Amino acid sequence: MNARQLRTLLGRRGRDVVLRGRHTGEVALGRAAAAWSDRRGGTLPPPPAPGCTGGVLTVVAHPDDDLFFINPDLANDLQAGVCTTTVYVTSGDAGQRNAYHRARERGIAAAYAAMAGAPDVWARARVTVAGRVLTEATLTGVPSVRLFFLRLPDGGMDGSGWPRSARTSLRQLVQGQVPVLWTVDSPAQAYGAEDLLAVLSGVMTHVRPTGIRTLDGERGHADGDHSDHHTVAQLTAAASARWDASVPVAGYVGYPSAELPANVDGRELADKAATVEVYARFDRLLHLDPVQDTVSPEAAWLARRYRTVDVPTSR
Ligand SMILES: [Zn+2]
């Protein structure tokens, strides 16, 4: 997103946004099915938990960015009982068939349940935010833990996309190279850049976080990070400025963190690795043994966490 596009987007104030529940007819795959239950009926989703407002909203590109790049911060929040909502802007499909991204969703849910110390049982609903239908998963045992999946296509490292998504990407969307991006699920939904900002700021309106976490949007696209990481960070910053510019936004360095000195160790490193291990059982493209592997980028990410600012978890 260039400066002019960003100013244009920021200049438009968000319209009122309504979240409303809708039964989903989707069926989770394989072993995932037992852990999901569809929430039926109702016009409004319940609040995150009795008295639960504030807390932290995390917006990432793919289901595992939070585990590699934001943890241990996220796990520490979950263990402290902080209200926690995470939005996954892309499905992380990596050009694969739908079974792959659905497995990733199950994996990230299992990882959150493990971090929260709760059974891996989730209520899932389809909710409408700013005219787009999102999948919402709420951890049954700790309903202050929620995940939202937008299922836009993974744009690939350099933003050149994948054949299954007609080689489109988030980066192309915000740079104005494509007018819309289509979700990978069915029925497919089209998102323009403005739609995406409205959805993100709509989630912020609903969650009312006291702090927002996302990926790194400061470095340029040529720094070796995934194109979706930078773009999601830019969109999140723009959406939060539209919603409430006083709420701090922390950016976390993605892939290039591997080049920085290690700064996560001891119990936090062990817990971070254990959480990735839970997730990795569902992600067939992630070949990582968190204990044995000391040379891959993934292993390097485990021992690093670089953020721009601390965010308050309450106020
Ligand atoms: Zn990622």
CA–centroid distance, residue 313 to ligand 1 (Å): 24
Parent domain of 238? 3-302
Question: Looking at the domain assignment, is residue 312 inside a domain?
Answer: no
CA–centroid distance, residue 143 to ligand 1 (Å): 26
Number of C-beta neighbours around residue 300 at 10 A? 18
CA–centroid distance, residue 148 to ligand 1 (Å): 16
Q: What is the DSSP string of 230-299?
A: HHHHHHHHHHHHHHHTTS-EEEE--GGGGGSPP---HHHHHHHHHHHHHHHTT-TT----TTT--SSHHH
CATH of the domain at 79: 3.40.50.10320
pTM here is 0.85
Question: Looking at the domain assignment, is residue 68 inside a domain?
Answer: yes
Handedness of CA 312, 170, 144, 68 (dihedral sign): negative
pLDDT tens figures, 178-201: 999 999 998 999 999 999 999 999
CB 291 within 8 A of CB 299: no
301-314: b or e for each residue (b if 16 or more CB lie within 10 Å)? Answer: bbbbbbbbeebebe
CA–centroid distance, residue 43 to ligand 1 (Å): 33
CA–centroid distance, residue 197 to ligand 1 (Å): 19
CA–centroid distance, residue 62 to ligand 1 (Å): 5
Phi-psi region at 19: left, alpha or beta (left = phi > 0; alpha = psi -120 to 50): beta
Output the six-digit token pair for 117: 């110390």
CA–centroid distance, residue 42 to ligand 1 (Å): 34
Phi first, then psi: what are they for 19, rounded to 5°? -100, 125
Helix or strand holding residue 105 (H, E): helix 98-116
CA–centroid distance, residue 64 to ligand 1 (Å): 7
Helix or strand holding residue 60 (H, E): strand 56-60
Question: Looking at the domain assignment, is residue 50 inside a domain?
Answer: yes
Question: Looking at the domain assignment, is residue 54 inside a domain?
Answer: yes
pLDDT band at 291 (very low <50, low <70, confident <90, very high): low
CA–centroid distance, residue 40 to ligand 1 (Å): 32
pLDDT tens figures, 67-119: 999 999 999 999 988 999 999 999 999 999 999 999 999 999 999 999 999 99
CA–centroid distance, residue 61 to ligand 1 (Å): 6
Q: How far is residue 197's CA from residue 219's CA, in Å, rounded to a whole number?
A: 21
CB 136 within 8 A of CB 127: yes
Question: Looking at the domain assignment, is residue 310 inside a domain?
Answer: no
Number of domains composing the chain:
1
Residue 253 has pLDDT above 50, yes or no: yes
Peptide bond into 187 cis (omega under 30): yes
Residue 9 has pLDDT above 70, yes or no: no
pLDDT tens figures, 256-287: 999 999 999 999 999 999 999 999 999 999 87
CA–centroid distance, residue 69 to ligand 1 (Å): 9
Question: Looking at the domain assignment, is residue 100 inside a domain?
Answer: yes
Question: Looking at the domain assignment, is residue 315 inside a domain?
Answer: no
Phi-psi region at 224: left, alpha or beta (left = phi > 0; alpha = psi -120 to 50): left
The CA R_g of the chain, rounded to the nearest whole Å, is 18
CA–centroid distance, residue 145 to ligand 1 (Å): 21
Q: What is the pLDDT of residue 311?
A: 79
Question: Looking at the domain assignment, is residue 97 inside a domain?
Answer: yes
CA–centroid distance, residue 149 to ligand 1 (Å): 14
CA–centroid distance, residue 16 to ligand 1 (Å): 30
Going by C-alpha positions, the residue among 76, 57, 43, 26 that lies closest to residue 248 is 57
Q: What is the DSSP string of 190-245?
A: EE-HHHHHHHHHHHHHHH--SEEEEE--SS-TTSSS-HHHHHHHHHHHHHHHHHHT
CA–centroid distance, residue 183 to ligand 1 (Å): 17
Amino acid in the structure at residue 125: A
CA–centroid distance, residue 65 to ligand 1 (Å): 5
